[in-house]
Homo-oligomer: A and B are copies of this chain.
Amino acid sequence: MRKDGHDTFIYGSLIPLLSASLKGISQVFLIEKNITGFIILIAITVSSYSLGIITLLSAIIGTLVGKFGGADERLVNKGLMGYNSVLTGMALHLFLSGPYMWVVALVGSALAAIITAALMQFMGEIGIPILSFPYIILTWSILLATYKLDTIKLSPSLTPQNLLNWEFNTGGKIHFIDYIFNGIGQIYFLANAPAGILIFIAVFWAGKKLGIYAAIGNVVAFLTAYILGGEHTLIMLGLYGYNAILTIVAVSVVFTNENSRITPLIGILAAVLSVPITASVSILLLPYGLPALTMPFVLSTWLILGARKVLPRL
């Protein structure tokens, strides 16, 4: 009754690999669920075939680096070696151009897994999760390197600016309904309603609480950015929203504090904070023409998680 080699390969290796890879896609949203990852992959693929392909390949590459590098199996199976690779592959696909873009994006996704491992080691000591920090520093580094390496070409959408000549521009109309799906979509670099709806479904599939907090984070970001006077075009594109959503999910659902009765409020506070932090990070990066990526989410979340140890009621 032994299985033949082919079956063994599929059930013994391929299925777990795919499952871990799909979880890698969902872990971008701090969710460990392959169905959620699969629905999100569809949302991405529907928006852009090539982006869908790079997402899946990056997830697989990150997972494989974890497996062959000898990482703890539970880590790999939870998709934790994959999500930084997913984000890196997608970001490089979007922000690079030229004939070697694919090669760089896939090599980048492998490097993301190595940097993930390094940062797990460095940050493990202080007991704070690395979140998507590995992806951020890797992607920024590669985007900067394009200026000095002729083979890698930057997308013309990214241009350095001088803070001396900076002009603030509030123009643009605000429509809450048009906004709502961009905020959640931008977590995967998407800004269209069908993708946003699919991702919402995927998140609700993983848990009602996750979905509700994501929705709250989305609204909080909109209101905060609007009240603080953020540029309307950026608000509408969801560029203040995605960091707030990730932050509230991290603070109120994933890394919760059992001592606190005000966890929901702290999550909202963290989401509010992510908005001015988004503004700060963007200005800091202005002279280099780099996008903020998920750095505001990482900073807001680290801030609250760190503060909790000294202020246990947060």
Partner-B contacts on A (CB < 8 A): 65-66, 68-72, 75, 111, 114-122, 125-126, 128, 140-142, 144-145, 147-152, 159-164, 166, 168, 170, 227-231, 259, 273, 276-277, 279-280, 282-284, 287-289, 302-314
Contact = CB atoms under 8 A, between A and B. Distances in A.
Contacts of A128: 122
Contact of A164 (B141, B160, B279): B160
Given A147-B283, A148-B231, A230-B148, A117 B307 contact: yes
16 contacts: A68-B313, A70-B259, A70-B314, A114-B304, A114-B314, A121-B310, A140-B280, A144-B283, A147-B279, A148-B230, A148-B282, A149-B228, A149-B229, A151-B229, A160-B162, A162-B164
Contact of A117 (B142, B229, B288, B311): B311
A313 B117 CA distance: 12
A56 to B, nearest CB: 22
Nearest to A140: B280
A144 B280 contact: yes
A303 B307 CA distance: 25
Nearest to A113: B311
Nearest to A260: B70
Given A119-B306, A122-B126, A149-B228, A284 B162 contact: no
Closest 5 pairs between A and B when the two form their complex, measured CB to CB: A150-B229, A69-B311, A118-B306, A117-B310, A148-B279
Contacts of A303: 114-115, 118
B151 A227 contact: yes
A17 to B, nearest CB: 17
Contacts of A289: 163
Given A147-B283, A228-B149, A141 B277 contact: yes
A306 B289 CA distance: 29
B161 A164 contact: yes
Contacts of A229: 149-152
A151 B116 CA distance: 38
B311 A65 contact: yes
